[in-house]
Amino acid sequence: MDQKKIVIICDCFVNFQATAPFLSMAQYGAQVAQVDDPTMQTTDTLFTIMKKTEEEGADACEASPQAMEAVKDADILVVHMCPVNRKLLDNAPKLKNVFVLRGGCNNVDLALCKERGIVVTNSNGRSSPAVADYTVGMILSAGRNIAFGHHNIKEGRWVKDYPNKDYCLNLRDQTVGIVGIGSIGGMVAERLRGFGCRILAYDPFFGPEEVAKRGAEPRELDDLLRESDFVTVHLRHSEKTDGFFGAEQFALMKLTAVFINTARPGLVDEEALIAALKDGKIGGAALDVFGTEPLPADSPFLDLDNVVLTPHIAGQSNGTSSFAVEIAVQNVKRLLTGESLINIMNP
């Protein structure tokens, strides 16, 4: 059998050290080459690529000259954010497999890969633990005034009373509604059970029995919104879920409810959310994602005192990159040893 060449395009998030476990694939007869991409050495660059490819597809960004050169003799390509588009694929005549070190594959032209017989797999669930942990942190931060208290002390104010003082309760006395109870939503439910709170869930892709298996009480969306003290969204962003939360949904929520979004900004009509926060239609929000990032200096969110804001860091954890590599290494091993692949994105 011909020796397979594995080419890994590294960046600031999945660097040489993080991708070192792929070197163990040499024991299965593979040649492994790590290539550092100098154009992807800041998190801002990576987020720009992620956003552009999510909105416009893999052709919205170009691969670096280093990546273009490296793929010429690659049988197997491992990427994180590197665009795998027509231009790169035309430069990779031997390529048969692409392993993506993230859940989304927007930086890969899946249809063209399928047309050319190239199998694409992802690292499904790589950031799920990190985002689930962060979501619980956002619930606590907003619900118990942690962020607001910190901000006031930094500004020289010793504030003990907050707008939610009459309904600032222990989590065991609150109801959390999870919209989208897949990998991340399921982990959020698992973590919240330790606090003893009531957990409701709605998922457009799961029936009541499947929702119950994930540790939540099944609810229709409208009922969940009416009953929950916290509403946290964990849906994938697609044409079907674009603008999933708008004025109608916020109007159904309790006046004291807190809305959490650590998923994708496109799931939410930001203007409707801002209006709901300004008009007191909901109690507050905790947001890690925004339609425009970085958040502009004139963003209305910055004028609101009932919002916790963070700069799209829910998935940023050293554990995220190492888990992504772990998932992909096991899948590459399956390929090299003749086993069936998992997480195929273009069947």
- What is the set of active-site residues? 264, 293, 312
CA distance 217 to 204: 14
Nearest C-alpha neighbor of 55 from the set 104, 14, 98: 104
Q: Give whole-number Cα distances, 245 to 100, 142, 188, 225, 264, in Å.
A: 30, 19, 19, 11, 11
Task: List Cβ neighbours of 207 (8 Å cut-off, separation of 6 or more).
Answer: 218
Please give the torsion angle defined by the CA atoms of residues 138, 140, 144 and 149, in that order, rounded to the nearest 10 degrees. Answer: -50
SS3 of residue 341 by DSSP = coil
SS3 of residue 172 by DSSP = helix
Strands (E), the chain: 5-10, 31-36, 76-79, 97-100, 119-121, 175-179, 198-202, 217-218, 230-233, 258-261, 284-287, 307-309
Nearest C-alpha neighbor of 79 from the set 105, 45, 117, 110: 105
Q: Are 31 and 7 in contact (CB under 8 A)?
A: no
Q: Which of the 8 DSSP states describes residue 16?
A: T
Q: Which residue has the tokens 């804001």?
A: 309
